[in-house]
Structure 1
Amino acid sequence: MRLALLFASIFLAGPVHAADAVQNADRLMQKYQGDVPGAALLVLKDGKPLVRKGYGLANLEQHAQVTPDTNFRLASVTKQFTAAAILLLAEDGKLKLDDSIRHWLPSLPATTDKVTLRQLLDHTGGLIDYEDLIPPAQTSQVSDQDVLRLLSATPRGYFAPGSAYRYSNSGYVLLGLVVEKASGRTLQDFLKQRIFTPLHMDHTLLYVHDDPTPDKSRVPNRAYGYSQIDGHWQRTDQSVTSATRGDGGIYSSIDDLARWDAALYDDRLLGDASRKAAFSPYAKVTGEPYEADYGYGWRITGDTLWHSGESIGFRNVIVRWPKQHLTVILLSNRNEPEPYQTVLKIAQTFLQE
């Protein structure tokens, strides 16, 4: 409610060119409008929401509209939270970034002795993609423990640790398990107690598919994922790889992510050294249609810090321009389009003000 009132006051008091920028954003979001899977869009400037809006439907079957408090599966946008959890534990003295992953997860093969937590954070560990180890005929969802078992039975890697970059969901699943070992809490409880609750991200949670207490994993105002197949939208909300946690299991809304964004400017959550570490370039991203370096859960391109998230039926992106104090977040519950370029176009008009 406070965000809504703030948005109204800014819009009414803002200059004409701000209204033009908002209209441009609406135009660029037309593909999400109507009786189709939709999106939520947030534009923050100096911590204030210039655009805070839902488009289309969160649930086609129930005709539920997307609103600013609709919760989307973040997919790989989750990785920045997993990285923050590791950095918090490093601040606590519970672990060191140069610890071997095998120190924490000794069932892994001896070939991972020299793979460090730091290398998992920046995707230079060389671990095999767990997705490629799943039996082709498997239909049941893979858990984090399943990923650990698959990797423990695979005594090979793609390259020597630290010698190259390869984006790794495997690494972030293992980092989530390290959070549990180092903290003595479940990953979902640690994220809630150390990140979500302190930042008042009251509707954000790490979804646990087989949680024995369903109420703890119930996603309020949930958007369901869809894919366009043969010209029709079909629900594709879950896949075999949708139950892992540290690499992509968080559900959140643009309202809650506004609070996350605010915390990245000061030391209310992470100390200055940890934030600098997260936002520093360590590895050149390869194999992607864009230029970027990788920090800890963040891509770095020019003046931007950003990350996308893609899983079956969801496409999301958060892009931050810290020097300009501008952030644009687009969360969508559909398999296309990929939203990164849309966000860059939306941001351009606000950057020109």
Structure 2
Amino acid sequence: MNASALLALLLVGGIVAPPADAADDRRVTAVDALLRDYAGEVPGVSVLVMHEGRAVLRRSHGLADLEAATPASPGTRYRLASVSKQFTAATILRLAEEGLLQLDDPVRRWLPELPPATAPVTLHHLLAHASGLVDYEDLMDALPAQQVQDADVLALLAGADRLRFAPGTGYAYSNSGYVLLGLVAARASGQSFPEVLRTRLFAPLGMHGAVAWTADAAPVAARAWGYSLRDGRWQRTDQSPTSATLGDGGIYASIDELALWLAALDGDTLLADSSRQAMFAAHTTTPTGEDDVDAYGYGWRLHGGMQWHSGETIGFRNVVLRFPQQRLAVVVLSNRNAPAPYPLARAIAALWQVSGPEAP
């Protein structure tokens, strides 16, 4: 679906707000001022603000492709990196609703290749970063010549018969765990992980261009390319050896598609209320020194009344914030290595938080 068709769908579904009033005009001006470093012939940014279930701001600056001088737009698809984890978690919850798996299943039920030390690890532990799994990147002797695939991660973990701590007794953010969840979803459903995402999440919501991309698939439509500032010049740095894994960070989507996703999280059209409650429950307390993170749910960080997640990979920096009590959400997607978008997203959210932020 092209950008104009998606916008038409958003309008028909009542997700895009009607024309702005004077207060919204002032907010748009303020957002544009906050985005000044993204303006011009530089890697771009796309910003979404959802309020009361509708997209009240859709703004893009800069370029999605420097070499082709393609402007960023609300339909530009960025690599979400770890923002993908909320979709992986939602897929597991959907499969649990269908009775194809249970959250207390041992991961070895689905991935018997894993070593004996992982016997106590359940899908719940993987979702909440409480598994104690070793980080697969720590198991690589050197960066490989070819990109690491999900099957390679499984092979690396199969050869590491140890855990960092007993499952359920600690917290350690784990890309390994979310790669395994993608593999579990594939085995439980009988589909590839990209196809599971498409059939369970993207197609039902109308997110037809969103995709967990693999090199053998069709090119990502309206794709943003990633860049890093090196020696004063923006250089294309779109992929690294660990950019091909899926469950932990492989999804491409636009802010218009994320508007559909965020709207769905406010109701039970996609996930049952019990699943959404599980997604946003504080399953694991995080270390004291972790900034603005008190606990982890399933694919979401929790801090006071805010639910959020960042996504960082070579050439991309992204963040999604939700303030459910105020029915407010902010998305910032960018195709550059800096700056981190979290402070920007908080500043944008504050423009709509008439009573002040929900989290200190």
1:58-84 CA distance string (max 9 Å, x none): 001001000000000000011011101
3-state DSSP class of the match of 1:10? Answer: coil
In 2: Cα distance, 1:198 partner to 1:190 partner: 12
Amino acid at match of 1:45: H
Q: Which stretch of structure 1 is more off in the superposition, 337-346 or 46-55?
A: 46-55
Superposition CA RMSD, Å = 1.4
In 1: Cα distance, 2:67 partner to 2:295 partner: 41
3-state DSSP class of the match of 1:198? Answer: helix
Q: How far is the alpha carbon of 1:8 from its aligned partner?
A: 7.6
- Which residues in structure 2 correspond to 1:281-296 (within 5 Å)? 281-286=282-287, 288-296=290-298
CA contact (8 A) 2:300 2:309 kept: yes
Which of 338, 342, 345 is equivalent to 2:344? 342
Q: How far is the alpha carbon of 1:147 from its aligned partner?
A: 0.2
1:69-100 CA distance string (max 9 Å, x none): 00000000110111011101111111111111
3-state DSSP class of the match of 1:310? Answer: strand
Check if 1:32 corresponds to 2:38.
yes
- Which residues in structure 2 correspond to 1:244-323 (within 5 Å)? 244-286=245-287, 288-323=290-325
Match of 2:193 in 1: 187
In 1: Cα distance, 2:17 partner to 2:308 partner: 27
Q: Give TM-score, length-normalised by structure 1.
A: 0.95
Q: How far is the alpha carbon of 1:18 from its aligned partner?
A: 2.2
3-state DSSP class of the match of 1:243? Answer: coil
In 2: Cα distance, 1:248 partner to 1:290 partner: 21
3-state DSSP class of the match of 2:351? Answer: helix
3-state DSSP class of the match of 1:53? Answer: strand
Match of 1:176 in 2: 182
Q: How far is the alpha carbon of 1:289 from its aligned partner?
A: 2.9
Q: How far is the alpha carbon of 1:159 from its aligned partner?
A: 0.8
Amino acid at match of 2:316: F
In 1: Cα distance, 2:147 partner to 2:24 partner: 46
CA contact (8 A) 1:226 1:313 kept: yes
CA contact (8 A) 1:175 1:246 kept: yes
Match of 2:228 in 1: 227
Q: Which stretch of structure 1 is more off in the superposition, 126-135 or 326-335?
A: 126-135
In structure 2, the CA distance between the partners of 1:117 and 1:8, relative to structure 1 (3 Å rule), is closer
In 1: Cα distance, 2:116 partner to 2:229 partner: 44
In 2: Cα distance, 1:303 partner to 1:98 partner: 27
Which of 140, 144, 152 is equivalent to 1:134? 140
Number of residue pairs matched by the alignment: 345
In 2: Cα distance, 1:4 partner to 1:221 partner: 20
Q: Which stretch of structure 1 is more off in the superposition, 278-287 or 225-234?
A: 278-287
CA contact (8 A) 2:224 2:335 kept: yes
Match of 1:73 in 2: 79
Amino acid at match of 1:171: G
CA contact (8 A) 1:22 1:50 kept: no
1:315-334 CA distance string (max 9 Å, x none): 00110111111111000000
List gaps (5 residues or longer) in structure 1: none
State the percentage of identical aligned residues.
51
Match of 1:101 in 2: 107
Q: How far is the alpha carbon of 1:137 from its aligned partner?
A: 4.5
CA contact (8 A) 2:17 2:54 kept: no
3-state DSSP class of the match of 2:197? Answer: helix
In 2: Cα distance, 1:9 partner to 1:82 partner: 32
List gaps (5 residues or longer) in structure 2: 1-6, 356-360
CA contact (8 A) 2:53 2:266 kept: no
CA contact (8 A) 1:117 1:175 kept: yes
| Runs (4+) off by over 4 Å | 3-8
Amino acid at match of 2:324: P
Q: Give TM-score, length-normalised by structure 2.
A: 0.93
CA contact (8 A) 1:183 1:190 kept: yes
Q: How far is the alpha carbon of 1:4 from its aligned partner?
A: 7.2
Amino acid at match of 1:86: I
Match of 1:197 in 2: 203
3-state DSSP class of the match of 2:205? Answer: coil
Amino acid at match of 2:346: L
Amino acid at match of 2:29: Q
3-state DSSP class of the match of 2:248? Answer: coil
Q: Which stretch of structure 1 is more off in the superposition, 243-252 or 299-308?
A: 299-308
CA contact (8 A) 2:293 2:301 kept: no
